[in-house]
Amino acid sequence: PKALRDALKKLATDSEIREVEQLVQAALENIQSDDVALEIPDGENIDVAWTEGVEELAQLTEDEIWAHLGLKEGKKIPLFQEFTDPDATIEPWSEEGEAWLNDPTTTREPLQARWHQLVGILRMLQRAFDGQPVLLMDGVGIGKTFQVLGFIACLSWFRRHFDTHGKFPGAFANLKWQGKEGNIPDLPFLIICPVSLHHQWQREIERFLQRSSFDILPYIQKFAKRREWWTRVKSQSRQQPHRQIILATDTAVQDDGSAVFLDLIHSVDDEAKCAPVYERNAPKTVFGHEYLGLIIDEAHKARKFNKFHQAILGLHRQSAMIVAMSATPVMTQLQASPQDLWIMGRMMGISELRDKEKFDEMSRELSRAQAKD
């Protein structure tokens, strides 16, 4: 496919990777360690009406957020572009596009993170270190993609920081990754999006992330046409795994699921059931590999017990961290909305939501309330 051929042409070469790594290492060596504990505000001063999942961070200033991230000196997301094309007319990962962005006489504009995007990145990192999922529900145009890519870039940066300094930066200096000693694992990221958004995602990745900082590996088409993808396509990337982004369509992932799982899930306490051919087929699918982060765009498509839901549930055990993105997390009729959210939470691995008795009781109470209206 053309999309795959074009992506392979943009894979970073050894020399390009070395150049990026030299810049990263230089930045890491220039960091001045801050021994002052960075405390997250709590207590009576918190505005309890601010219920968007980041209540304890509401009073942080931008400077304080940068400090929490360990980036108070440069105040720039690592591995992000410094400038952007406001008209989106260039290809940032081409030589011409890179030259355009480096030319001060063009109409380029600084690529700057806003407060709400920074606090979103910080919260996702906190959840990742705790091994907890994230449901990112910002509205359209608020910058969910920016936040997710900032999260990916920061995780990669945190890993390199640990390699150099033996600890994580900023407020994470004394924390352990998901309760374990050592560094963040060297694993790729898997982003799943609808077919209609695949090209847009690729454009956004190239817009926000520096050229040669990551490799984008499109994962498209049917399982039958992808049997050798892992050995013939992914193997062409020269990047370390945590600098690889597998950009998959939801249909490709669903098709992989059909190749390794049995019947659909029908209840909140069900698990994705492996088919007899699982051991043979799994290494040829997304289900036979592990990921540092699983990012699901338009996650509300898995709010019912369908093939997409089953696929995501199967991927949960392969992923260190899950971020579900949706501007419209609930779309069905009012009486079904709580069930939708419950099922989505179950899909994201919240163990408390596996209790079928509680789910059925909630459904009955909703039905009784509906009958009284």
User: Which two tokens mark 44?
Assistant: 């009576």
R_g of the chain computed on alpha carbons:
21
Percent of the chain exceeding pLDDT 90 equals 61
- pLDDT of 47 higher than 80: no
Amino acid 244: pLDDT: 98
State what percent of residues in the chain have pLDDT above 70. Answer: 84
Bridge-based pairing of strands 83-84 and 109-110 is: antiparallel
3-state secondary structure of 295: strand
Predicted local distance difference test score (pLDDT) of residue 352: 66
Q: What is the pLDDT of residues 49-97, one digit of tens each?
A: 435 566 778 889 999 999 999 999 889 999 999 999 999 999 999 999 9
Q: pLDDT by residue (tens digit) across 203-262?
A: 999 999 999 999 999 999 999 988 899 999 999 999 999 999 999 999 999 999 999 998
Euclidean distance between the first and the last CA atom of the chain, given in angstroms as a whole number: 54
- Report helix, strand or coil for 250: helix
Q: What is the pLDDT of residues 87-118, one digit of tens each?
A: 999 999 999 999 999 999 999 999 999 999 99
Q: What's the confidence (pLDDT) of residue 73?
A: 87
Q: Which domains does the chain have, with CATH numbers?
A: 1-15+185-373 (3.40.50)
Contact call for residues 52 and 115 (beta carbons, < 8 A): no
The pLDDT value given to residue 70: 95
CA-to-CA dists, residue 211 to 92, 93, 129, 243, 333, angstroms: 7, 5, 27, 12, 44
Output the CA–CA distances (angstroms, integers) from residue 193 to 27, 143, 148, 253, 325, in the order listed: 33, 16, 13, 10, 10
